[in-house]
């Protein structure tokens, strides 16, 4: 049913738009330079078509249309009043910058920022003070990535101020020279124990990263400095594609609770980068599963694990495929005493199971096994893993159990792990599906 808005309300909205526009100030970037802007106001709200994705807002959500198809676009929630169910649509075209500020939805009814046709950004997007906002390039069924960030000389997306409940979805990033997604200010915000002092429910879904910089988010938890800042809770990184970059670590969160990294693909990464990289580098606790990484350098994930509070959490690594690394094994588990803060954090237990790893550390300058295991302070369950063409230069660390064990971590379960020849391990090196029922990963 079409949503009707009274003429009186429209006139009031237009008057408030005009007044607010006169009071708006230019946005300033982190180098204290003015960001060019062409202030815009939404056209008369309209009714959207039925959403393609059933998780999208109801059909009676109000649509606000922004943009002229070029220049710099500002969308400032202080200059207009959003309906309780709202979609902001950006007109197709090529924009230098898009700035989204002061937009607040609710957890049950987030504000959607969508493309209306293909939208390309050439200098970057900046947000400030946004809560429960979904930035999604999935408005048109024939366009996979409705927001394209291309040939960005600095940073593609920078979050300033509050950013709770933010989802990035169906965006593509190509040739980004600096951080592809970063947060200024949030990484320095002290965590006081309240929800308002942390970032919650941050998601990156269905995005493409091609020759792009690092996703760099998070802060620090340190017993020595007493610092607890930039704390993220409930992070999801899923169904993304990463390729053709030499940046090192592709995704880094340095103070996070309950992350979920799953169903991502990684290929042709770090052809000449020789740092000890974690393709995903995570400090805290969470899960890593159903990811496929091929032709890369570094651990698929470096889990530096600890639990929030006084009860141990369990981190899990399962159903991943890792194939053909120049350097390092598939996964790393490690704990640092600096992250164990009495009353705030404790150790974590770990499970590593049903993973497939083959042709690790072709450089043969480090152990290339299933797991690089350091002291964790907790226990390890390790089972149903499948390996082939692994490498160890130390007879005291045999390939047979596929653990490069440099720890006194207690392994409480160790069973059904198979190290066999490639021909007996996987059907082929394209899908890398296991030949052994119940052993290794089942990811396609």
> What are 249-279's pLDDT values in tens digits?
999 999 999 999 999 999 999 999 999 999 9
Residue 106 pLDDT more than 90? Answer: yes
Print burial letters for 323-343: b (CB count within 10 Å at least 16), e (below 16): bbbbbbbbbbbbbbeebbbee
Q: State the pLDDT confidence band at 187, using cuts at 50, 70 and 90.
A: confident
Between 278 and 8, the higher pLDDT residue: 278
CB 200 within 8 A of CB 231: no
pLDDT in tens, 34-82: 444 444 444 434 333 333 343 676 788 999 999 999 999 999 999 999 9
Please tell me the predicted confidence (pLDDT) of residue 26. 38
Q: Which residues contact 31 (CB under 8 A, 6 or more apart)?
A: none
Hey, how many other C-beta atoms are within 10 angstroms of the C-beta on 273?
A: 17
- Determine the average pLDDT of the residues in 330-337: 98
Please tell me the predicted confidence (pLDDT) of residue 55. 61
Residue at 70 is within a domain? yes
CB 368 within 8 A of CB 361: yes
Please tell me the predicted confidence (pLDDT) of residue 148. 98
Residue 345 pLDDT more than 90? Answer: yes
Residue at 261 is within a domain? yes
Give the whole-angstrom CA distance, residue 23 versus residue 67: 20
Mean pLDDT of the chain: 88
Task: Of 81-95, 217-231, 288-302, give the lowest mean pLDDT range.
Answer: 217-231
Residue 6 pLDDT more than 60? Answer: no
Residue at 439 is within a domain? no
Residue 342 pLDDT more than 80? Answer: yes
Residue 185 pLDDT more than 90? Answer: no
Give the whole-angstrom CA distance, residue 62 versus residue 76: 17
Q: State the pLDDT confidence band at 23, using cuts at 50, 70 and 90.
A: very low
Between 194 and 142, the higher pLDDT residue: 142
Please tell me the predicted confidence (pLDDT) of residue 86. 96
Q: State the pLDDT confidence band at 400, using cuts at 50, 70 and 90.
A: confident
Number of domains in the chain: 1
Q: What's the pTM value of the predicted model, to 2 decimals?
A: 0.88
Best CA proximity match to 93, nearest among 67, 68, 69, 113: 69
Hey, how many other C-beta atoms are within 10 angstroms of the C-beta on 145?
A: 20
Please tell me the predicted confidence (pLDDT) of residue 443. 75
Residue 29 pLDDT more than 50? Answer: no
Residue at 435 is within a domain? no
Residue at 444 is within a domain? no
Please tell me the predicted confidence (pLDDT) of residue 188. 78
Q: State the pLDDT confidence band at 394, using cuts at 50, 70 and 90.
A: confident
Here the tokens at position 96 are 């230098």
Residue at 284 is within a domain? yes
Residue 2 pLDDT more than 80? Answer: no
Please tell me the predicted confidence (pLDDT) of residue 22. 35
Best CA proximity match to 50, nearest among 141, 113, 115: 141
Please tell me the predicted confidence (pLDDT) of residue 284. 98
User: Which CATH number covers residue 177?
Assistant: 2.160.20
Give the residue carrying structure tokens 């429910």. Answer: 201
Give the whole-angstrom CA distance, residue 306 versus residue 378: 9
Give the whole-angstrom CA distance, residue 49 versus residue 60: 9
Residue at 295 is within a domain? yes
CB 403 within 8 A of CB 394: no
Residue at 394 is within a domain? yes
Print burial letters for 38-75: b (CB count within 10 Å at least 16), e (below 16): ebbbbeebeebeebeeeebbeeebbbbbbbeeeebbbb
Domain that holds residue 271: 7-425
Give the whole-angstrom CA distance, residue 368 versus residue 189: 38
């Amino acid at each position: 049913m079409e949503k009707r808005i009274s003429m009186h309300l429209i006139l009031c909205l237009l008057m408030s738009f005009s007044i607010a526009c006169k009071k708006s100030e230019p946005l300033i970037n982190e180098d204290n330079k003015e960001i060019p802007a062409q202030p815009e106001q939404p056209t008369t709200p309209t009714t959207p078509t039925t959403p393609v994705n059933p998780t999208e807002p109801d059909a009676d959500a109000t649509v606000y249309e922004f943009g002229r198809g070029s220049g710099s676009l500002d969308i400032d929630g202080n200059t207009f009043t959003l309906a309780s169910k709202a979609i902001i649509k950006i007109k197709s075209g090529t924009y230098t910058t898009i700035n989204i500020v002061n937009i607040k939805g609710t957890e049950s009814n987030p504000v959607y920022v969508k493309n209306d046709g293909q939208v390309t950004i050439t200098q970057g997007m900046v947000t400030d003070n946004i809560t429960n906002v979904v930035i999604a390039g999935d408005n048109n069924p024939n366009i996979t990535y409705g927001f394209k960030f291309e040939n960005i000389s600095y940073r593609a997306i920078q979050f300033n101020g509050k950013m709770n409940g933010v989802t990035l979805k169906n965006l593509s990033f190509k040739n980004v020279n600096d951080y592809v997604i970063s947060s200024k200010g949030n990484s320095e915000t002290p965590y006081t124990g309240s929800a308002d002092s942390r970032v919650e429910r941050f998601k990156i879904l269905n995005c493409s990263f091609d020759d792009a910089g690092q996703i760099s988010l998070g802060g620090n938890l340190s017993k020595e400095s007493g610092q607890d800042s930039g704390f993220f809770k409930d992070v999801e990184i899923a169904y993304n594609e990463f390729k053709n970059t030499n940046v090192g670590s592709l995704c880094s969160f340095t103070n996070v609770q309950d992350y979920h990294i799953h169903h991502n693909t990684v290929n042709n990464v770090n052809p000449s980068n020789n740092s000890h990289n974690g393709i995903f580098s995570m400090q805290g606790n969470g899960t890593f599963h159903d990811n496929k990484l091929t032709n890369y350098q570094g651990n698929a994930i470096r889990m530096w694990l600890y639990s929030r509070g006084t009860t141990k959490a369990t981190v899990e690594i399962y159903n991943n495929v890792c194939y053909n690394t120049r350097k390092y094994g598939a996964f790393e588990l490690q704990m640092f005493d600096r992250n164990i803060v009495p009353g705030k954090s404790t150790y974590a237990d770990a499970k590593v199971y049903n993973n497939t790893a083959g042709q690790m550390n072709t450089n043969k300058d480090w152990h290339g096994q299933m797991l690089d295991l350091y002291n964790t302070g907790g226990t390890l369950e390790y089972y149903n893993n499948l390996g082939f063409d692994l490498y160890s230069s130390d007879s005291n660390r045999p390939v047979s159990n596929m653990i490069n064990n440099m720890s006194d971590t207690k392994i409480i379960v160790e069973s059904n792990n198979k190290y066999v020849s490639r021909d007996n391990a996987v059907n082929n090196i394209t899908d890398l599906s296991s030949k052994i029922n119940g052993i290794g990963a089942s990811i396609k």
